[in-house]
Amino acid sequence: MEIIQKTMAQEFTSRPKSSFSTDELAYNVKSKTFVAEASELGLSAVSKISYIIWNPATMMSQYFKYIKTDVTPDGEIAGWRYQSRQGINLLIIND
């Protein structure tokens, strides 16, 4: 039983992060965009599905759906874009 518990715990900690606190992100009011570098968020892989951003002060959260991947003219991935139903954006920069 102990081996299974360790395996499940290891699996849980190795899963990609699926939510962020507003404290972890910068916010640009003009463009309505939360921004952060992938390394600052502790991401080794990025979700092409969704993320949830929650505000610890208000205890409110928003769901952000994957929109597109930004690519440089050289073909390198520059970042990933997400958007909430409320029109707020999330940009994760590939560093």
User: How far is 3 from 12, CA to CA, in rounded Å?
Assistant: 14
Residue 46's CB is within 10 A of a number of other CB atoms, namely 19
pLDDT tens for each residue of 8-17: 443 334 445 7
pTM for the complete prediction? 0.80
Q: Are strands 26-28 and 77-84 parallel, antiparallel or unpaired?
A: unpaired
Is pLDDT of 52 > 80? yes
Q: What number of residues does the chain have? A: 95
Q: Where are the domains of the chain?
A: 17-93
Of 1, 10, 90, 2, nearest to 46 by C-alpha is 90
Secondary structure of residue 14 in the 3-state scheme: helix
- pLDDT at residue 74, rounded to an integer: 95
